[in-house]
């Protein structure tokens, strides 16, 4: 009897450290970046997730069309053994809304991201509640970029200056047509979702983020951050992802 009590006491005393280190029922995470960025921004989030025992895939959407970006995400999902939490930032939210219908996706996480409905476009959401930034420009051949002169202030205000400057120089230009392509079927209607509002976001209006996430009945948290919240607040983003992983069944 005394031995049993000692075993139980030891288990209770160590439960906290075990829970912090072990992944939940879903052990795979797929990260999808949005417009004007690339997959390298997920570096710190990836390191933290891997430290906690998760297998991470970072998608590099070509941003040539919504369909191409969804296919790139599906390829990443196919490479994993078992179910996954699918995470999107910014325009990546539109990508995961469509790609999330993949049977391997157990949950969706929107990080300062668009969360369109079926039949809805990203552009329609932008026009519904405009963002503070007016720096998005178009190229003659139909691609978009964020004016480097305002990139740091409007996209990455809480990212170190040198890093934000390089992000402006290396930004990936999305096809404008991707923003006017409607979602065929919104995965969040049939799968649980979590979402993070960046309260100082100038690229997506925080009020739009709140409205979208409330409409989808997502589990919402808010962080005082710029649009580049996954870079400036990786710990908070990882916490939200792990909440999703720990609260869905594989």
Per the prediction, the chain carries an average pLDDT of 91
CA geometry: angle at 155 spanning 150 and 160, to 5°?
90
- Domains, in order of start, for the chain: 25-130+178-246 (3.40.50.1820)
**pLDDT band with cut points at 50, 70 and 90 for residue 132:** very high
pLDDT of 14 higher than 80: no
pTM of the model as a whole: 0.90
Which helix (H) or strand (E) segment holds residue 76: the answer is: helix 66-78
**pLDDT band with cut points at 50, 70 and 90 for residue 18:** very low
pLDDT of 17 higher than 50: no
Q: List own/partner pairs for 161-169 with CB under 8 A and 24 or more apart.
A: 163/231, 164/228, 167/36, 167/37, 167/41, 167/228
Residues in contact with 85: Cβ distance below 8 Å, sequence separation at least 6, in sequence order: 26, 28, 29, 30, 105, 106, 107, 108, 109, 241, 244, 245, 248
For tokens 């469509």, the residue is 98
pLDDT of 1 higher than 90: no
pLDDT of residue 6: 35
pLDDT digits (tens, 9 = 90+) for 24-78: 589 999 999 999 999 999 999 999 999 999 999 999 999 999 999 999 999 999 9
């Amino acid at each position: 009897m005394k031995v049993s009590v000692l075993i139980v006491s030891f288990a209770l005393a160590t439960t906290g450290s075990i829970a912090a280190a072990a992944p939940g029922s879903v052990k795979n995470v797929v990260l999808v970046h949005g417009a004007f960025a690339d997959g390298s921004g997920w570096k710190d989030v990836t390191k933290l997730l891997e430290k906690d025992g998760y297998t991470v895939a970072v998608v590099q959407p070509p941003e040539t069309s919504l369909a191409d970006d969804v296919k790139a995400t599906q390829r990443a999902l196919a490479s994993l053994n078992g179910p996954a939490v699918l995470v999107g930032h910014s325009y990546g939210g539109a990508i995961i809304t469509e790609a999330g219908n993949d049977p391997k996706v157990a949950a969706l996480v929107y990080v300062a991201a668009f969360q369109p409905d079926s039949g809805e476009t990203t552009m329609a959401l932008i026009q519904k509640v405009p963002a503070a930034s007016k720096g998005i420009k178009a190229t003659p051949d139909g691609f978009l970029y964020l004016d480097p002169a305002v990139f740091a202030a409007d996209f990455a205000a809480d990212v170190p200056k040198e890093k934000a400057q390089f992000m402006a120089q290396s930004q990936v230009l999305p096809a404008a047509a991707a923003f006017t392509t409607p979602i065929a079927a919104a995965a969040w209607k049939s799968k649980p979702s979590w979402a993070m509002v960046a309260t100082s976001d100038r690229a997506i209006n925080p009020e739009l983020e709140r409205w979208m996430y409330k409409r989808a009945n997502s589990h919402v948290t808010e962080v005082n951050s710029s649009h580049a919240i996954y870079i400036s607040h990786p710990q908070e983003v990882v916490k939200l992802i792990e909440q999703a992983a720990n609260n869905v069944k594989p």
